Structure 1
Amino acid sequence: MSDATAEKHVFQAEIQQLLDLVVHSLYTDREIFLRELISNASDAMEKLRHVEATEKDVHDAGLPLQVEIIADKEAGTLTIQDHGIGMTHDELVENLGTIAHSGTKAFLQAMKDSGKSPETMIGQFGVGFYSAFMVADEVKVFTRSWRKDGEGLVWTSDGTSGYEIEPAEGVARGTKIVLKLKEDQKEYAEEYRVKHLVETYSNFVGFPVMIDGKRVNEVEALWLKNKSEISDDEYKEFYKFQAKAFDEPQYRLHFSADAPLEINALVFVPSENPENMGFGKVDPGVALYCKKVLIDPEPKGLLPDWMRFLKGVIDSADLPLNISRETMQDSALVRKIGTVISKRVLKMFDKEADADPEKWRAFYKKFDRFFKEGVATDFANKEALAKLLRFETSMTEAGEVAGLKDYLSRAKDGQEEIYYIVGNSRDQIEASPYLEAFKTRGLEVIYFTDAVDEYVADSLAEFDGKKLRSITKGGVDLDDAEVEGEALSEEETTALCEFLKTEFGDKVTKVGAGKRLVDSPVVALVPEDAMTPQMRQMMKAMDENFSDEVKVELEINPRHELIKRLASAKDDNADLAKMVAGQLLDNALMAAGLLEDARDTVRRMNELMAKALG
């Protein structure tokens, strides 16, 4: 540049400080620079559209509104050009050399006063342009204003002490930025690398982005279109593009909101669960955008972790972003956006589950772990999630499932509890003595057969004001029921219970007659605060030294023939009675999943068989 024609300027002190921050400490990923420059170009063309609506005399009115990028590997340069509003001489000085519009001074003062790092303090200051100096030794900005009397200018700087402005011939309306790349940043002069950056960050910019004459961003930002204008096939293709998926979406949620926040969202629910395919825990799949520009492809903490299987886009113009658009400055606002989306998704699931129960059951079977995880971890949405759970019960056929709303619709008048039992399978549960009293009384029992179901029941605790209660634990209060068979007298029952308590000692906390049993002689009940066998097994698998001795309450059935004979044998043949009593206790512990050492059980059983054979 000729000293005779160049107009030299020194950067204001604040701009110098800002440049140092941008180049050396603000951005964590240098490739963000291209997103910033494309966004600026898009903004300039949006402004031109507004100008064209009110002004007649616009220079070069026929120029196309598109972003043109040229990667020159031999020259080591990258050029980004738009035909937007352009800049006058004063606007060049004001926008690129001073703090007039950027808010930089306010930022620097706030950072100084707070003592915080730039990453946490920078807000919307419109200074993304300076990110170019992270990758360039020299930046040239060719520009011409939209006004008829505008002039062609070139702004040049190495990003250190200052800049120069001089007239330039043949400059079209808009702005052309030419980056002379640093030696270690020459990768950005490779066409394939630049194309990847556009596809990653700027694919949905509202204007065509051309690289060496070819359009790159051909997929529309469907989330900003009216639903009535989009076909099912377009939705499916967008899902496959955005999620990099091969399946088709099972459900979708497309909505816009203006209050309390401006949000445009398009969220898809996959039809296949990748975590069931051995891929491990997946990352969040709903990307965050601001005005069609990608902010974070996998935003942590935006949605509850259990929603990580969702795919799609959330776009909010209300986001106060930091200068690099890499993190959200106002986490409270981000949480508010996440809350709005979460509630919308749950409402959509509830509606779909009611509209087509069979489709929901098929989907739930593949994705049930996510919903169960949500019940245990997402307190704010626990009640809504509970409505979506499905399980087999004592009143459903094998393989058929029901929800908690279905359960309550069939509950007995005055029933204040939701009964459940945890087991390894339906067959195992239905062979246990715990169900007898409930089936006799027509009380429905939920079957929890998944390893995590116990966590779900403990986390949920209640639904619609009804407490969830395990039927294997003490404290269940049942009404009297008509049961066939003559029972021991109250005196005989008391005497037998005292005999058994003496025989078992501290192995049991109590022996008594109850209302649970119909066909079985005894049942072992665990305290309400005790771990279930499934939980104990899990804890033992994690810690071989884990020990948790459970003291059970033994309930006997005074109508059972074996119990009546035992009552007589305790007086007539005490040794045999003690052996039978020990076997009954072990049988009850076995049914409860609490018998860990069966050696004595086998030895005693052999002795009893020998006695039975004389």
Structure 2
Amino acid sequence: MSVANGLLRLQKLARPSFALARCLHPATGRLYHSSGRLQEVHHIPATASWTLPLSRSLTTKPAEDAGDSGYHSIIRDQEKTVGNSDKHEFQAETRMLLDIVARSLYSDKEVFVRELVSNASDALEKFRFLIQSSTDSSGEFVEADRSLEIHIGTNKQERQLTIQDTGIGMTREELIAHLGTIARSGSKHFIEQLKESGKGTQENVQNIIGQFGVGFYSAFMVADRVDVYTRSATAGSPGLKWSSDGSGTFEVQEAENVAVGTKIVVHLKGDCREFADEDRIREVIRKYSNFVGSPIYLNGKQANQIQPIWLMEPKQVTADQHNEFYRFVGNTFDVPRFTLHYKTDVPLSIRALLYFPEGKPGLFEMSRDTDIGVALYTRKVLIQSKTENLLPKWLRFLKGVVDSEDIPLNLSRELLQNSALIRKLRVALTNRALRFLHDRSQKEPESYDKFYKDYGLFLKEGIVTSQEQQEKEEIARLLRFETSKEAGRNVSLPEYCERQAEGQKDIYYLAAPNRTLAEASPYYESLKKRGIEVLFCYEAYDELVLMQLGMYLGKNLVSVEKEMRRSDSAKDAGADGVIEGSLLQTQIDELLPWLKQRLAGKVSTVKTTTKLDSHPCVVTVEEMAAARHFIKTQSHNMSEENRYALLQPQFEINAKHPIIKKLHKLTTSDPELAELLAKQLFSNAMVGAGLVDDPRMLLTSMNDLLQKKLDKQ
């Protein structure tokens, strides 16, 4: 006989005053009396059968029936109904509600185990409170010193799942009231009584999990019939049996040999026999009820062994405990990089333990389809293992637990009832995570820099996706960029702003693949000459991030390309308006319309600029970052004509540059060569601006220009 199929097989005998039990432990060969007391005997083969008188009372202390193997179970199939049963109908609309609960309220059938375990935990907490608050518990309650435990037994052959607790139990009136009406929660009623009496401390109230009265009925998702045996802890209370097939009626009958507490026997449907499997139930317990405050025994072995360390004082939790718990909740084998463990009661009651992973994110983690890795608990019972709205998507790399008794739950505990409250929790958690990261960046800059290298992309995603400017700026102070001031050193936006020149109202940034190209950019020339520091954005998406940020600490974020488009009329010109060393104004007036005609269909405007020194020309568009992103992602199927019509590029020439001066001469001496040169200059400028997705398209015009030049030799 296996442990999974029950270590105690009861055998009814002919004489009604007796019940005998076979009580041999199959693994150890030790004999167990059905009272729970260990009998020392010689080793006996597991195939042998033994019968012993079954006592009426039940001892539940683990020390009395836990042998060397650690086996401990209180489940005994010893109950016997007496007298006639009373048949009752469920109250108003219960048939319809039963159908809703059993068929549509819960998305996963396995949650019925969670609900029944939660009810059992509530019963234990109620009894614990009553014992602590009673002045004479020895006379008022039965077995007041018993251990408070939850026991679960599986029986594949009989397709049964049994859940038994040593809690407060129920009287006949409570049994009919709590199990006869859906949405009449015994836990909720108990909390109300505590508050009315003034005895309900915050801890007592918080420890009661159930807030709605439908969890018990979730058993009918998987059950043909549910039997409940219960005996109130109040002295003199009889044992009772409640039974129903969920069709709309239930029966209540007195019973003998019922232990104090409640025992639920779920007779499983044929297609739900998986819940009579020990491994399957252990998996569900580990998933949902691993942190219930009382021990849970499954077929005699304790099944919940992880301590809810998020409820402990942060200073009391060791590094080893954090590592073990992180591996448990994160389903990983590494250790956390950072640990955020905190509790607060303002604006919500929150107990949070969040881990920042040590390892680099993989491609799967980078996907926005990846689920949030933080579980939501209420009073140590899992509500959702991957809570979609608990944190913003950009924080999906976090692992851990959030526990809040302030979260009201839908009847099924699966759908969050108050989305506004969840949003409030989300904001509180997000702000706390941001403050934590900022604190790390100040106190542990080297560790933070490594984190930023691995997870900076998530922060940038947060700026792009956030709808709140304040949140954007909170994230932005965590960003790091190299600047034109010092190679190899990243700075934050606050640091950049602190050392800005007096009167500088903008934050300038330049997108380039690397520092060499950034420093050689024509767009950087003017700012470099003026000694203005510029942020260098080496990642393709950085400029989109800063464009979405828009402003930081009241200062506009401006790309150097946009700065170039601003008017620079005659800054470097002499009194007569002519720039030293440049084409004459009459020559400029001749060249500009000629260029616009030769580049018709490609440019919207041709103008001169005083912001170039070593470069002959540049191209600017209104929003360069958006334009570059468009070219890379969406312009492949567009014709060249439509692409230029959409971009509306502005062609700006440096009238001091030798190439531009030579171009002006060629317009009269060799118009054909001048046209080839003008088009090549424009193409080069487009490449420099990052507005050409495939430079190979320019090879033909470049070869034509070379051929034309060679023909002159």
Q: TM-score, normalised by structure 1?
A: 0.88
Q: Residue 39 of structure 1 aligns with which residue?
A: 118
RMSD of Structure 2 on Structure 1 (CA): 2.9
Pair 1:102–1:17, CA change in 2 (3 A) = farther
Given residue 126 of structure 2, which amino acid in structure 1 is its aligned partner?
A: K
1:154-206 superposed Cα distances (whole Å, 9 cap, x missing partner): 22222224222223222222111112222222211111111011001111111
What stretches of structure 1 move > 6 A for 4+ residues in a row? 481-485
Q: Indicate conservation of the 8 Å contact 1:144/1:150, yes or no.
A: yes
Q: Does 1:250 align with 2:314?
A: no
Q: Indicate conservation of the 8 Å contact 1:475/1:528, yes or no.
A: no
Distance in 1 (CA, whole Å) between partners of 2:106 and 2:159 is 22
Q: Indicate conservation of the 8 Å contact 1:151/1:167, yes or no.
A: yes
Q: Residue 393 of structure 1 aligns with which residue?
A: 483
Pair 1:418–1:508, CA change in 2 (3 A) = same
Q: Does 1:88 align with 2:171?
A: yes
Distance in 2 (CA, whole Å) between partners of 1:100 and 1:432 is 70
Q: Residue 415 of structure 2 aligns with which residue?
A: 327
Pair 1:127–1:537, CA change in 2 (3 A) = closer
Q: Indicate conservation of the 8 Å contact 1:440/1:481, yes or no.
A: no
Task: Work out which of the residue numbers 511, 519, 523 in structure 2 matches 1:422.
Answer: 511
Q: Residue 9 of structure 1 aligns with which residue?
A: 88
Q: Residue 540 of structure 2 aligns with which residue?
A: 451
Secondary structure of 1:532's aligned partner: helix
Residue 50 of structure 1 and its aligned partner are, at CA, apart by 0.9
Distance in 2 (CA, whole Å) between partners of 1:555 and 1:279 is 40
Q: Residue 74 of structure 1 aligns with which residue?
A: 157
Pair 1:331–1:487, CA change in 2 (3 A) = same
Distance in 1 (CA, whole Å) between partners of 2:383 and 2:625 is 48
Secondary structure of 1:508's aligned partner: coil
Pair 1:199–1:182, CA change in 2 (3 A) = same
Residue 568 of structure 1 and its aligned partner are, at CA, apart by 5.1
Residue 68 of structure 1 and its aligned partner are, at CA, apart by 0.6
Task: Work out which of the residue numbers 307, 310, 313 in structure 2 matches 1:220.
Answer: 307
Task: Work out which of the residue numbers 147, 171, 177 in structure 2 matches 1:64.
Answer: 147
Most deviating of 333-342 and 164-173: 164-173
Distance in 2 (CA, whole Å) between partners of 1:507 and 1:21 is 65
Most deviating of 211-220 and 384-393: 384-393
Secondary structure of 2:175's aligned partner: helix
Given residue 643 of structure 2, which amino acid in structure 1 is its aligned partner?
A: D
Pair 1:129–1:211, CA change in 2 (3 A) = same
Q: Residue 473 of structure 2 aligns with which residue?
A: 383
Q: Indicate conservation of the 8 Å contact 2:183/2:212, yes or no.
A: no
Task: Work out which of the residue numbers 475, 490, 494 in structure 1 matches 2:565.
Answer: 475
Distance in 1 (CA, whole Å) between partners of 2:251 and 2:678 is 101
Given residue 382 of structure 1, which amino acid in structure 2 is its aligned partner?
A: K
Q: Which has the larger radius of gyration?
A: 2
Residue 366 of structure 1 and its aligned partner are, at CA, apart by 1.4
Most deviating of 224-233 and 203-212: 224-233
Q: Residue 232 of structure 1 aligns with which residue?
A: 319
1:215-265 superposed Cα distances (whole Å, 9 cap, x missing partner): 111111111111121112211211111111122212222222223322211
Secondary structure of 1:548's aligned partner: helix
Given residue 144 of structure 1, which amino acid in structure 2 is its aligned partner?
A: R
Residue 356 of structure 1 and its aligned partner are, at CA, apart by 2.2
Secondary structure of 1:203's aligned partner: coil
Residue 143 of structure 1 and its aligned partner are, at CA, apart by 1.4
Given residue 524 of structure 1, which amino acid in structure 2 is its aligned partner?
A: V
Q: Residue 608 of structure 1 aligns with which residue?
A: 709
Distance in 2 (CA, whole Å) between partners of 1:507 and 1:97 is 79
Q: Indicate conservation of the 8 Å contact 2:663/2:677, yes or no.
A: yes
Residue 475 of structure 1 and its aligned partner are, at CA, apart by 2.5
Q: Residue 138 of structure 1 aligns with which residue?
A: 225
Q: Does 1:53 align with 2:148?
A: no
Distance in 1 (CA, whole Å) between partners of 2:90 and 2:622 is 76
Q: Indicate conservation of the 8 Å contact 2:463/2:472, yes or no.
A: yes
Q: Residue 107 of structure 2 aligns with which residue?
A: 28
1:296-320 superposed Cα distances (whole Å, 9 cap, x missing partner): 1112222211111111111111222
Q: Residue 617 of structure 2 aligns with which residue?
A: 522
Q: Residue 554 of structure 1 aligns with which residue?
A: 651
Percent of residue pairs identical: 41
Q: Indicate conservation of the 8 Å contact 1:586/1:601, yes or no.
A: no
1:350-381 superposed Cα distances (whole Å, 9 cap, x missing partner): 22122222222211111122112111111222
Matched length: 592
Q: Superposition pairs for residues 364-375 of structure 1, below 5 Å?
A: 364-375=452-463
Distance in 2 (CA, whole Å) between partners of 1:129 and 1:279 is 40
Task: Work out which of the residue numbers 338, 341, 345 in structure 1 matches 2:429.
Answer: 341
Q: Does 1:356 align with 2:444?
A: yes
Most deviating of 243-252 and 499-508: 499-508
Secondary structure of 2:256's aligned partner: coil
Distance in 2 (CA, whole Å) between partners of 1:495 and 1:342 is 60
Q: Superposition pairs for residues 426-437 of structure 1, below 5 Å?
A: 426-437=515-526
Task: Work out which of the residue numbers 149, 155, 161 in structure 1 matches 2:242.
Answer: 155
Q: Does 1:164 align with 2:247?
A: no
Q: Indicate conservation of the 8 Å contact 1:42/1:206, yes or no.
A: yes
Q: Residue 10 of structure 2 aligns with which residue?
A: none
Pair 1:442–1:609, CA change in 2 (3 A) = farther
Q: Does 1:303 align with 2:382?
A: no
Residue 579 of structure 1 and its aligned partner are, at CA, apart by 4.8
Distance in 2 (CA, whole Å) between partners of 1:396 and 1:609 is 44
Secondary structure of 1:345's aligned partner: helix
Pair 1:64–1:505, CA change in 2 (3 A) = same
Secondary structure of 2:707's aligned partner: helix
Q: Residue 635 of structure 2 aligns with which residue?
A: 540
Pair 1:235–1:476, CA change in 2 (3 A) = farther
Distance in 2 (CA, whole Å) between partners of 1:482 and 1:353 is 47
Given residue 366 of structure 1, which amino acid in structure 2 is its aligned partner?
A: D
Residue 455 of structure 1 and its aligned partner are, at CA, apart by 2.6
Residue 419 of structure 1 and its aligned partner are, at CA, apart by 1.7
Please, which runs of 5 or more residues in structure 2 have no aligned partner?
A: 1-79, 188-209
Distance in 2 (CA, whole Å) between partners of 1:362 and 1:99 is 54
Q: Indicate conservation of the 8 Å contact 1:396/1:402, yes or no.
A: no
